[in-house]
Structure formats: C-alpha cells, structure tokens
Structure 1
Amino acid sequence: MPDRAKILMVDDREENLIALEAILSSLDLVPVRARSGEEALKALLGTEFALILLDVRMPGMDGFETAAHIKRRERTRNIPIIFLTVVDSAPDYAFRGYAAGAVDYLTKPFDPWVLRAKVAVFVELYQMNQRLTEQAALLRERLAAELPSGEADQPAVLPELSRRLTAAEDELNRVMELSRKSDGTLSGPLADLGRRLAHLRAGFDALV
C-alpha cells in the first residue's frame, strides 16, 4: 500500500497556506507548509513530495530562484512544480515559470476546482510511480530467482506479477485519457511513465 502523497505548499503568507489546505482537504494527501524558499529547500532534504505548489512573489528567495535550486538537486529535480502568483504579475512570469521547470502556472485568484483537479492527477501519477517501482522490484527478485532452485515457485509468482502489471497498464491508460481531455499538462510525465511500464512488460514477457 503506497504511502499517502505529500504536497509541499510554499507561500510567505499564512492565509494563503490556510486557503490551499482548505482547497485540498478533500484529497487523500498530506499538506506540508513552507513560509519561504529556504524553508522549502530544508523540507525537501528529508521528505519525498509528489508535487510542489510554489508562490512566485516572496521576499528574499523568490519562486523562480527556489525552483532553480530544486531542479539543480538530483534528488528533487523530477518533482513537478505548479507556480502560483497574482493576476497582475509581470507579463513574462508565465514564460519564466516554465523556463524554471514548472509543469503548470496558475494565477490568483484561481478556481479551487481547477487546482484540486490538477493536484489530484499529480497525486495519482505519483502513486502510480510508487506502485510501478514496487512491481519492478518484484520482477528483479523474480529474475534473480531464475535458477534451478527457484523453478518450483514460478507458477505461483508469475500470475500475480502479470495481474499487477496489467492493473498498472490499465490505470496508466485511464490517466492518459484524463490528461488528453484536460490541458495536456501531464503528457511529458505520462510518456516517461509509459516507457518505464513498457520496459517492465518487456522484461516480464522475456521471463515467461
């Protein structure tokens, strides 16, 4: 059973963090607050996050600088970032956000339903990645056991592995369909996940 996904919310205003928590309260996730870019970077040192909601305009280290640090770190560079900023921001903010590695950009005040829906899809993608990692570990164990002494338990293990792979493939197809019906934000991450799943399936097919 995958752990509950954690979402890092970064904003220098407490009322904005409280509002974000309220918007996401119906989702099965753990919100973590950070009041500055420095706090966010500290939180990322010891915790794995499914998504970062990052305010652009903060005193000291702003959202762009914070994102640059996140993307430079090997451990955190693949965490998706959604930038949040006020509607009257400079016209190049959206471009700078995407250039800094953001997967999406929302202006305040934003529609709570839109934000909740986007976060929900990223959480589901994160949990799929967790499950896929577990399936890959199981396949590696099965491959390592492909010795004469391990042949006896092969019939019991392979059907279960096949069932889990099929479930992951079905779930990926469902999320890809949801992405196509929305704005295509997840096309890149979903393509990467699809390639990983295809490699896993090829390894399983070679095994059987």
Structure 2
Amino acid sequence: MSGAALDPGRAGILLVDDMEDNLTALEAVLASLNEPLIRARSGEEAMKALLRQPIALVLLDIRMPGMDGFETASQIKRLDQTRDVPIIFLTGTDDDSGYAFRGYATGAADYLTKPFDPWVLRAKVSVFLDLYRKGREVERLKREIQDLRRRAGERG
C-alpha cells in the first residue's frame, strides 16, 4: 500500500526494512489487522512517509545500509511532528546483545528479534494501534469540550 492516500481517520503502520522478503513477511503477518501498511526501504524513505501521512506505529529494522535503524529512530524522535510515534525495533537474532539497550535509548517502545513469532508481533502491534485510537478519541473529546465551552461563553 505504499504511496496510497490514507483515510484521515486511520493511521498507517510504517514497515521499514531494506529487504523485500522481510517487508513481504511483515505485510503477511499484519494484513489481518486491516490497517494501512506503508513500506519504506530505507531510513530516508521512512522519514518522508512519516511526514506525508499519519502513522500509528513504526516497525523498524536496525541493520540497513545508509541511515540505519538507530539513526532513523533518532530522526523520528527529534521532530515535533513524529516524536510521539512509537517504534518497535526488529533485528536478527545474531545481532549484538547491546542492540536492545541502544534501541530503547534511542526511543524504541519495544524490540523483537527475527524470526519473530507472528502472534506476538500482531499482539504488540494491536496494542499500539489501540493506544493510537484511544489517543485520537481523547483529542476529539478535548476539542468537543473546548467547543462547548466556547459556545457557552458566547451565550453567557
């Protein structure tokens, strides 16, 4: 679903990996959630996607050429517009054990090693989607309350 316009009421799940097979596997696991899946093959592509549309969650591979996952996460957390987007890092089981610590230090909300259990990944993603929806509902209710207060003030 790369590049497709999103329904303004829905936010996508950004899948960031330089390997086509990994992106395809993520899409297969997450398709049943019926949420927009946006692909990015690099950190640079991920940043462009984040600035183009609302994103509820980023699944981010650590090891990528050019801007790796840690650099991408740092960029995401640096921008006001994307600072609050949760990131789940994905990395191979043979990667350095310090990756988890470094991932959390750069702002990751969670960390999974590949190959991952599809049920665990879907469950984690579902939790973050639910949090995103609840946050949107809170924002909507706050606007409604402000509107009511403003109208009451105009009458009073």
Q: Same fold (TM over 0.5)?
A: yes
Unaligned runs of 5+ in 1: 151-208
Runs of 4+ in 1 over 2 A off after TM superposition: 147-150
Corresponding position of 2:29: 23
Q: Which amino acid aligns with 2:151?
A: A
- Partners of 1:106 and 1:148 lie apart in 2 by 53
Question: What is the aligned length?
Answer: 150
Residues 51 and 122 of structure 1 are in contact (CA less than 8 Å); yes or no, is this contact kept in structure 2?
yes
Counting only pairs closer than 5 Å after superposition, residues 106-117 of structure 1 correspond to structure 2 as 106-117=112-123
- Partners of 1:68 and 1:86 lie apart in 2 by 20
* Percent of pairs with identical residues: 59
- Partners of 2:53 and 2:28 lie apart in 1 by 22
Which residue of the other structure, out of 85, 88, 101, is the alignment partner of 1:82? 88
Please tell me whether Structure 1 or Structure 2 has the larger radius of gyration of its CA atoms: 1
Residues 11 and 53 of structure 2 are in contact (CA less than 8 Å); yes or no, is this contact kept in structure 1?
no
Q: Give 1:148 deviation, angstroms.
A: 7.0
Corresponding position of 2:46: 40
- Partners of 1:23 and 1:137 lie apart in 2 by 36
Counting only pairs closer than 5 Å after superposition, residues 153-192 of structure 1 correspond to structure 2 as none
Say which structure is richer in helix. 1
Deviations 1:133-153 (A, max 9, x none): 111000001111124737xxx
Greater relative CO, 1 or 2 (CA 8 Å, sep 6+): 2
Corresponding position of 1:130: 136
Which residue of the other structure, out of 91, 109, 120, is the alignment partner of 1:103? 109
Residues 5 and 28 of structure 1 are in contact (CA less than 8 Å); yes or no, is this contact kept in structure 2?
no
In the superposition, the TM-score normalised over structure 1's length comes to 0.69
Deviations 1:117-160 (A, max 9, x none): 0001111110111111111000001111124737xxxxxxxxxx
Corresponding position of 2:4: none
Corresponding position of 2:5: none
Unaligned runs of 5+ in 2: 1-7
Which residue of the other structure, out of 63, 66, 77, is the alignment partner of 1:60? 66
Q: Give 1:28 deviation, angstroms.
A: 2.6
Residues 4 and 28 of structure 1 are in contact (CA less than 8 Å); yes or no, is this contact kept in structure 2?
no
Q: Which amino acid aligns with 2:29?
A: I
